[in-house]
Amino acid sequence: MRKAVIILAIFAAAGAVFNLITIPLFHEEVFIRQYTIAPVEIIILLGFLAILIFNLMSLFWLVLQIHKESDSKTGHILLLIFTIFCIIGLMGQKVMLDEVANEYYLGWNVQGEWIIFLGLLSLQLVYCLVFLFTAIREKP
């Protein structure tokens, strides 16, 4: 299971990097054009799906690791808290993307929402990298 979660972490990190770059660059295709789905939107959706699956699988794996060990490592517990925060952060990312889309439609300034969204997505990328570092260093 460890190898599967590591592979998912790689895909989630790639999805986070792709989404960090493409959503601001292709904001017109993503937020302004309606009733059409651009190919880049499908890839963005797959990136978010990879992040969600990775977060849920890493949560499950960390709970198993903590439960399996009689003396739980503090690092695993902190990583579990980080995982829960990132899962909640995914909901925040969805809300911020909805706000950006709504405010683009109304013609308003969206700078604050972009900062929050990109900050949460960057935090998700950091989590993927920390998890990779921790899981790779751990003995099977």
User: Could you give the CA distance from residue 107 to residue 34 in angstroms, rounded to a whole number?
Assistant: 15
Look over the chain and give the mean of its residue pLDDT values, rounded to a whole number: 87
**What is the DSSP secondary-structure string of 88-107?**
HHHHHHHHHHHHHHHHHHHT
User: Domain span at residue 26?
Assistant: 2-137
Q: What is the pLDDT of residues 44-101, one digit of tens each?
A: 999 999 999 999 999 998 898 888 876 667 778 889 999 999 999 999 999 998 888 8
Which of 67, 85, 70 has its CA nearest to residue 131? 85
Per-residue pLDDT, 97: 87
Scan for tokens 């709504």, then name that residue: 102
Q: What Rg do the C-alpha atoms of the chain give, in angstroms?
A: 17
pLDDT for 71 = 64
pTM (predicted TM-score)? 0.86
pLDDT tens, 111-137?
888 899 999 999 999 999 999 998 888
Q: Please count the structural domains in the chain.
A: 1
Whether 30 has a pLDDT exceeding 70, the answer reads yes
